Amino acid sequence: MKRFILGVLGVSFFSGTTFGFSDTVPSYVQRVADTTKVFTETEKKLSFRGYRFIKREEFLEWILKNENIAVERYADPHISEVFRDIKKPNNYVSAGYALNILSQFEPDGKFLKHKKLRRIEAVKMLFALEGISVLPNSDGDIQKHWHDLPKSAKDRNIIITALQKRILRNKASSDSTFKEVKPYAYLTKEDAIWMLYIVNGLKHDAVSKNTIIVKPHVSSGLKNIQKVETLLQSQYLRKSELKSEKLEDAAISGMVESLGDPYSVYLPPKKADEFKNYINEEPELEKEYAGLGVAIQPATEGGLVITEIFKDSPAEIAHLQVGDVITGVDGESILSLSVSESVKKIKGKVGTSSFLTIKRNGKTLTKSFIREKVFIKNYSTVSSEVKDHILWIKVRSFKSFTARDFQNILREHITPNSGIRGIIIDLRFNPGGLMNVAQEMLGEILPKGSIAVRLYNAKGDEDIYYVDGSANYTKVPLVVFQNKYSASASEIFSAAVKDYERGDIIGTTSFGKGIAQQLFSLPRGFVKITTAEFRSPLQNIIHKVGVKPDYELSDQSDESYFYEAKRRLR
């Protein structure tokens, strides 16, 4: 699941307003109207008509106005590239996208702003904006009384949390024995205002108890930064060359870099877009470029490690190998360059030649290659093949769509008459990705109620995240491949499989990245900050330790790995 932390989102309280709805409204509607800017002065003079259903854009405007968010700061003329139906610039939709409120609508590529909003959709939007944590809930009494809760564990926990916090009210039921929440019914305007009323009350309580929201203040450090910027703008010799945005980016980057944490970074707008595209991009059916013909990822020791070599590519002709680490191009080191900058040096015009400096088994080698057209078809984060009645699934990373593709492969190949006698899940060279995707994939192979991972925040508080899937493949024999480049979400996956003794882990000890980051939206770009440490279901530490395999394998060839898998899947 995506996690958000409640930030300093204050409600603008103002007095002296008069509320002129012509009909009699509940006191909480009056309260929201008097203490927030949800309604314009004109709207306050009209009939409230709370029985009407609210539309997606209208609810989005309400929750952003409730937080007094200046949506013009998030203006994005390219929002139509995210939602195809938003033809003209729309600051509210742009802000909703930037603040990760609209992630549930992104897979469709359309926001459909005039469509009526369902109750569960509204809860997800509100929780995302307010940073309300959704914890797994096994309260039998709640599930017994609310008989129409969603079947999905993830959605069920969201609804239960909303019920517990009184953000969502029950609907009338024809059977007095049970309560109905009707999560997929359309939301009325009156219930939408109730949500804002309760959320504002929760925030008010939190402030008085000093538990969630800290009153904003300007530290002496921030004052110094502001003073330096003012001095530069007024006193610097070539002040006409100064750009406020560049100064702002440098200041934020400096603060984050001072942490000495390679996983906490500031992503200015361009890099933020690249990151979002990387996480959310769908696999391309066909792709053609001129270059080397390899898949790469950042190497632990710096540079780029080759994770795959495509057939008949310049890399294959040059006798490069999976596991080779590229440290230089044409005699220039790439150790200090970003991945995109390094890739630009490797790609080029067809027919041009270059040479790479690579490290292989502790030795430094030079390999020449000639750039050719490389044609890739149906390359995805998940691929599979059936070999000797064993389903071999290669998982290259944990992106937003990876769980879907993983589930489709399982359903396509494992049927009553398929003859599949085991599954290999290959996580070698998998750098990780989204934690919730690992949860969903583990939910296919572990029993319901199994723990996927434990997270510990700066205070030492523990959040337990359970698997979320069909549990249809818990009896199929399983083997997991990993190596020293298997990291983050890959280690969450391997550790859970190992702790529950669901299958054997084959390979080498994994990378050892046992800390989690959260992405926080800024008016310009994002900041990615380490916020928690994660541990295995049995509370085994992963960070700087890794997940040890059940069977250590020094020979890294596919043949050796498959041979060991077959021995265990008999």
pLDDT at 214: 35
Please provide the average confidence, as pLDDT, over all residues in the chain. Answer: 83
Rounded Cα distance, 491 and 353, in Å: 39
How many whole angstroms from its chain centre is CA 539? 23
pLDDT at 282: 56
Mean pLDDT of 272-284: 65
Contact in structure between 294 and 310 (CB atoms under 8 Å): yes
pLDDT at 223: 65
pLDDT at 48: 81
Mean pLDDT of 5-26: 40
Contact in structure between 165 and 132 (CB atoms under 8 Å): yes
Instruction: Compute the half-sphere exposure of residue 310: CA atoms within 13 Å on the CB side of its CA.
Output: 20
Contact in structure between 292 and 298 (CB atoms under 8 Å): no
Please provide the size of the chain in residues: 570
pLDDT at 93: 93
Token digits for 406?
């993983």
Residue 113 has pLDDT above 90, yes or no: yes
Superfamily (CATH H level) for 382-568? 2-enoyl-CoA Hydratase; Chain A, domain 1 (3.90.226.10)
Q: Kindly provide the residue ranges of all beta strands, DSSP E only, lying in 310-448, ordered along the sequence.
A: 325-329, 332-333, 353-360, 363-370, 372-377, 382-387, 390-395, 422-426
Domain ranges (residues) in the chain? 27-209, 218-258, 286-377, 382-568
pLDDT at 288: 67
How many whole angstroms from its chain centre is CA 102? 13
CATH 1.10.1740.10 holds for 286-377: no
Q: What is the pLDDT of residues 397-439, one digit of tens each?
A: 998 889 999 999 999 999 999 999 999 999 999 989 889 899 9
pLDDT at 424: 98
User: What residue type is assigned to position 246 of the chain?
Assistant: K
Backbone angles phi, psi at 369, to 5 degrees: -150, 155
pTM (2 decimals)? 0.61
pLDDT at 471: 94
Q: What is the pLDDT of residues 501-548, one digit of tens each?
A: 999 999 999 999 999 888 777 777 888 899 899 999 999 999 999 999
